[in-house]
Structures are given as structure tokens and as C-alpha cells.
Amino acid sequence: MTLSAQDFDRLMVKRSPLTNILRFYYDDGFIRKNEAASLLRSDSVSAALFKSYKTNTTIATCLYIAGDVAFLVGFYYFWDTVLICDDDFSKAKIWGTVGLVTIVGGAVFKFISLDQVERAVDIYNKNAAADAGHSLSISFGITDDGIGVSLRF
């Protein structure tokens, strides 16, 4: 006879440590972000957090792009000043600083958005577990010990 408690963490989000790319899993199977969004819409708090995640990710992406452009403009002015042997690095300093500050701002929005999506998934799973109540299933078949009765609760 086998007894086991069911795990209600049905929706999971995992992120790559280097790239922060999110992958969603539902019942141990990979699902797309759109499918995860439709699951999260079933709970109002999770839906609001997921919408905020998408907004902050868009802001972060825009800041990353603007910061890269500003940093490259600063890099251009730096090499332009070096090649003509000028001593005025003010444009290079300004554009480089603006670029770096904008990129850091984008990183802040990205980390906030990652926290929001993880909280949305946690809230969804907690509410799904509460809605499931106490389900009980009995089945006959192959268990860890051979053939027998399996009781899941």
C-alpha cells in the first residue's frame, strides 16, 4: 500500500542564472509564456502581478536599448577625441555616463519584474491548492512495492 500527498505546485517558473530567460512548466511539462499567462489570469492577484511583470520587462528592454545606444555614442566621441588628439572628453563622459546609468536602470526594472512573476506563480499555486481542497483517490495497480493499493490525498 502506498500513501502520498499531492503536490500543488503545478505551475513553476525557472530562470537561467546567466541570461535570466524564463521558462514556465506546468505539471512538469514545458509551456509557453502565453499559456502561463492564461493560467495566471484565472486568479486576479496573479493576473495583476503578471501584467506588472510584462510592463516592467518592456521598460527594462527599452532602457537597455537606450543605454546601449548612449554608451556607443559616448564610445564614438571618445575615439573621435583620441584620434584627433583633442583634450575635450566632455561629450564622451556625458554620453558614457548616461548610457551606464540607463543600463543600470534597466537592470533594476528587470530584477523587479522577475520578482513579480515569481510572486504571481507562488500566489497562483497557493490559491490553486486552497481551491482543490482535500481530494482523495484510491487506485489499484503497480506501486513502489509491487502490485497493490495506492491512496493519494
**Each residue's pLDDT tens digit, 103-139:** 999 999 999 999 999 999 999 988 887 766 555 566 6
Q: Output the DSSP codes for 69-107.
A: HHHHHHHHHHHHHHHTT----HHHHHHHHHHHHHHHHHH
pLDDT score at 81 = 86
β-pairing, 22-26 vs 11-15, is: antiparallel
* Contacts of residue 67, Cβ cutoff 8 Å, sequence gap at least 6: 98, 99, 100, 101, 102, 103, 104, 105, 106
The grid coordinates listed for 44 are 486576479
> Which H, E and C letters describe 138-153, residue by residue?
EEEEEECCEEEEEEEC
Confidence of residue 152 (pLDDT cuts 50, 70, 90): low
- Across the beta sheet with 2-4, the strand order is 2-4, 146-152, 137-143
Count how many Cα atoms sit within 13 Å of the Cα of residue 11 in the half-sphere of its side chain.
27
0.75 exceeded by pTM: no
